[in-house]
Amino acid sequence: MREAEQAGVLLQDKVIIVTGAGTGIGREIALQLASEGACIVVNDIGASLEGQQEQVAAADAVVAEIVARGGRAQANRSSVAEEAGAKNMVQQAMDVYGRLDAVVNNAGILRDGMFHKMTAEDFDAVVKVHLYGSFYLSRAAADPFRAQNGGSMVHMTSTAGLIGNIGQANYMAAKMGIAGLSRSIATDMERYGVRSNCVAPFADTRMTRSVPVAPGRAEAREARLKAMPASAVASLVGALISDDAKSVNGQIFGVRGGEVFVFNQPRPVRTIHHQGGWPMRKLGRMLPKFGSVFAPVSETGRNYMWEPVEE
């Protein structure tokens, strides 16, 4: 076993920005990374999902907890949904610690609703935080990463986007977009020693609990949530940032309690060919023959966690 592992400092002196780190998964990530020797910029805009004011000092509370444990951390309350906010986070890391080694794009909100009822405002708000937020911070971090020829980006995607869920068109679009964004970063930045990976987490958080559950399924969901602590997600994030995983790039991982899995990514699975191109009418009759390899229209909850309420 390496000396760093024996000392419990897998991420010694690495400077890491964690967004949405005031509560839930982000908070646990910040705490665990700090416990492994990292210097953390704890970003949280300060508002709860309901916009209540008790979350105003969330970032400061996490910083205080890290410092009380002997770690190093700085609070940041910029909005990830604004480019200037992302640049501010990176500048703060550079000013305080002199470098930046990793970013964790964790911040997120929910504005759920059936697609035929969803407003443009709710779609825009979710995409701005999740997808634009991930782009803004990753882009701001790209410059120091290139200059130092190294860095790691970890983005939170979701099985809601990768597989599907009811009433979350905005969230699904954003999370699937994050997977594409990460793949692009991995491709473009690999030459500079920068890697980019996604994590689809299963964990017991306020956002998870905000998803409606079918009557009679609450007890079963409670049992499953207790088996999926946020600490398991934090462990995977830290492992991906560590130097031990420096060969891991462009991948999508899932974590559910003690289970870690890798998602496959879209590739052709079957083809049909017609010399000179397919006539429209004939092709329409042929397309159903792909049926044996069609991806099912599925929901994450039904197959992986719990059955959602249908309207």
Q: Which helix (H) or strand (E) holds 217?
A: none
Q: Give the whole-angstrom CA distance, residue 189 versus residue 192.
A: 5
Distance (Å, whole) CA 276 – CA 252: 38
Measured CA to CA, the distance from residue 205 to residue 30 in angstroms comes to 15
Instruction: Please give the Cα distance from 66 to 18 (Å, whole number).
Output: 13
Report CA-CA distances (Å) from 233 to 81, 167, 172, 181: 23, 25, 20, 21
Residue 311 DSSP code = -
- SS3 assignment, position 127: helix
Active site residue 171: yes
CA distance 26 to 39: 15
**Sequence-distant (≥ 6) Cβ neighbours of residue 161 within 8 angstroms:** 171, 172, 173, 174, 175, 176, 177, 178, 179
Instruction: Please tell me the distance from the alpha carbon of residue 303 to that of residue 86, in angstroms, as a whole number.
Output: 36
Which is the catalytic residue, given 132, 171, 192, 304? 171
The C-alpha atoms of residue 117 and residue 218 are separated, in whole angstroms, by 26
Report helix, strand or coil for 1. coil
Strand partners, 279: none
Q: 3-class DSSP state for residue 12?
A: coil
Catalytic residues: 171
